Structure 1
């Protein structure tokens, strides 16, 4: 029965992302180890997490979710002791290196939170587990519950799901966008500011792409707002998946490359100093899917290029296709040491993607030297 619970509640957790990738069913579960999810760290390493729902009982009517309250199937749950036992077995056998725990909401948000808190409390205090814990905040949870969660977890999150309140209302009638979601996110932000040791990895959130009529511009403006006001540097974007026995089962999936393009654009906003108004969009507020948003911007600003690499500021370098934050920093550091760039190979050695950058740069105001092949 425990293995069956793992299979069901592990699969049911798959739509809560903790990885900046498109949904990949094979990444969530396996026949031998249900509940294992392989996430990637910023440096590219894969880390196995035990990722599961505490319960699939839920009184919310989210139209995209298989656990919505109008769906009739067997509802099951883990007790805190059962879940701890399974997780410690996985952890001690090196199957998982951390815990990602979420839950449906069985009528009362604080009741659901209490069970997840008990798991984290016992792991920390009774079993002296000091590894990674990510706990989901149930929409509508009380301030005191959120504070308790943040004292135990490395990362916390509540899913915002939609970029606008009207879009949110298209997806559910049992949750309030401003009260249940945004207010809780602001509470977490304030607690983190007052107590930096709480949830040391901060908070994250998730938006669904393609479940309603929201445009890419809507999504990107919300992502920028979350970064500016709540210090959420990158929001997870979950491409909508039409699931059987949900009200949205006949809605089409978004184009495969829509979510990756949105991630690229979000990086431009949150890490490269772009504003939403600078992005190249179609008349309806959607990104062009055939080209990188940064390349489209550069091609539409021919007056700024070619840019002299030996003179450009850090912010200007970030506008050049093929130059990222790391390579831009390396260029600035090399220039401070008196190094002048005269060959494309010099830039390639610093991590610049010269095949993309070459049309947009010049070196010492001289003709660029091509790479030897």
Structure 2
């Protein structure tokens, strides 16, 4: 390979790939054979951080940043005047194996702009995964982007070679998708999502009967929603996410704060920076739905369609529903304990187990791991007479926000003092 040429392509296409966040580190177990390279581990793999602060664990690359589409929000739209590059199949295979052997990466995330048409692009990406599996005997993690509009045969083959597939919805409502990306539509996006869901379920059923039957996308599928490019409310986004989890059995819905890369397009909002706090609050809401048994309708209401950026959505739920608190920690059921701010899933499970043997008090809860500075306002027991009934929601919010701000400031001051007091060891004299 011409190293200078490959490095130039790598700089262009790795940078272009950072806008797609719907990638995961693992989720499947793919055992290594006697002569294979690497393996997939369900528990996850190590992570690193990019210059813009995003956590990655994969060789995240585009096959090309050339594209026949002209999506208003995309940096790679065909009307943008920017450097273009395209990797060949062999180049991506060689880079992946080379990086893996050097322990730079633990998996591959491959996406692409649309070259010529959807089938041509999907076929090129599938060929990369197939060569890695069959010729290089690579057993590590592979995540492929499924291209809307590609044939069912190619999507099927992608699921045979890859651990995870993803189809990006991008814009939360079809009306705004049509406005910003006229070449795309929800029907074209949902067709491959439905196919992937059905084939995953079919594969699981077949493996119950025949242990050696071929797996299809064993790490499932995911999608991405862009936040802030269009005027949808947080409630609309959360309801859509909840519906996708139920209808498509998705592993993850990823949220990407809109990056203002095409400010000249008047269809886009005049943002100066991505809405990262809003993105974080949406991830917290997603966490509540997946692990805390919250329904989307509980997190936000029609009267309050946007998340409060000053507090996390669990605390926001508690402040809106003061009539449900305080919770008797020794008698409440598991579902209600999960709704107490300051109590996580593991702490709630430990509480259920521990109270079988004794009534829990302040010290017990603290040892379990409950964040008492927050939880004390929402629970009650013999030793905890404080009640939310004694507090107005607005006042309680101010108290908790002040505590959080003070804690963050102390953490920052501690970190700065450590740097200020740091004295490097002198080199030995020779």
Kept after mapping to 1: 8 A contact 2:238/2:285:
yes
Kept after mapping to 1: 8 A contact 2:239/2:296:
yes
Alignment coverage as a number of residue pairs: 347
Aligned to 1:114: 123
Task: Report SS of the residue matched to 1:146.
Answer: helix
Which residue of 151, 154, 168 corresponds with 1:159? Answer: 168
Residue 134 in 1 paired to residue 143 in 2? yes
Give the gaps of 5 or more residues in structure 1.
21-25, 31-36, 40-47
In structure 2, C-alpha distance between the alignment counterparts of 1:350 and 1:139, rounded to whole Å: 48
Deviates more, 1:276-285 or 1:145-154: 276-285
Which residue of 334, 339, 345 corresponds with 2:357? Answer: 339
1:295-314 paired onto structure 2 within 5 Å: 295-314=315-334
In structure 1, C-alpha distance between the alignment counterparts of 2:99 and 2:134, rounded to whole Å: 19
Distance 1:361 1:94, change over 3 A: same
* Superposed displacement of residue 193, structure 1: 0.7
Kept after mapping to 2: 8 A contact 1:91/1:97:
yes
Q: Which one has the largest radius of gyration?
A: 2
Which residue of 246, 263, 285 corresponds with 2:305? Answer: 285
Deviates more, 1:272-281 or 1:255-264: 272-281
In structure 2, C-alpha distance between the alignment counterparts of 1:74 and 1:266, rounded to whole Å: 36
Distance 1:312 1:284, change over 3 A: closer
Aligned to 1:319: 339
Distance 1:221 1:250, change over 3 A: closer
Normalising by the residue count of structure 2, what TM-score does the alignment of the two structures yield?
0.75
Distance 1:90 1:219, change over 3 A: same
Deviation digits for residues 42-70 of structure 1 (CA, Å, limit 9, x no counterpart): xxxxxx31110011121111111111122
Aligned to 2:405: none
Residue 265 in 1 paired to residue 285 in 2? yes
1:8-47 paired onto structure 2 within 5 Å: 8-18=12-22, 27-28=49-50, 38-39=55-56
* Superposed displacement of residue 250, structure 1: 6.3
The ranges of structure 1 where at least 4 consecutive aligned residues each deviate by more than 3 angstroms after the TM superposition are 26-30, 253-256, 280-284
Aligned to 1:181: 189
Residue 87 in 1 paired to residue 109 in 2? no
Distance 1:246 1:236, change over 3 A: farther
What is the Cα-based RMSD across aligned positions, in Å?
A: 2.4
Task: Report SS of the residue matched to 1:349.
Answer: helix
In structure 2, C-alpha distance between the alignment counterparts of 1:19 and 1:181, rounded to whole Å: 18
